[in-house]
Amino acid sequence: MKKATLLVGIALFLGAVSCKKKECHDCHYENVQNEEVELGNKCGDDLENLEKNGYSDGTQTYEVHCHEH
């Protein structure tokens, strides 16, 4: 019984860790020349903030896309 409980606990832990990993996405935006500019892999609050507020290069703010096409 202890082994079964331990195995279930490990499975739940690994499931929770893998779910958090899925919250990360490669992000990019298109500059004024319509070129895709990669921002790299973003996770959690960084990902949400980029999608909500966009990316600013100091002169302009761009819409950021962080999910698969």
16-47 tens-digit pLDDT:
555 555 589 999 999 999 999 999 999 999 99
pLDDT of residue 69: 45
Cβ density class 23-43: b for 16+ within 10 Å, e for less: eebebbbeeeeeeeeebeebe
Categorize the per-residue pLDDT at 67 as very low, low, confident or very high, splitting at 50, 70 and 90.
confident
pLDDT of residue 49: 93
pLDDT of residue 35: 95
Per the CB < 8 A criterion, the answer to whether 24 and 41 are in contact is yes
Pairing of strands 55-56, 36-42: unpaired
pLDDT of residue 23: 83
State the Cα–Cα distance between residues 38 and 65, nearest whole angstrom.
10
Per the CB < 8 A criterion, the answer to whether 46 and 64 are in contact is no
Residue 10 has pLDDT above 90, yes or no: no
Per the CB < 8 A criterion, the answer to whether 61 and 55 are in contact is yes
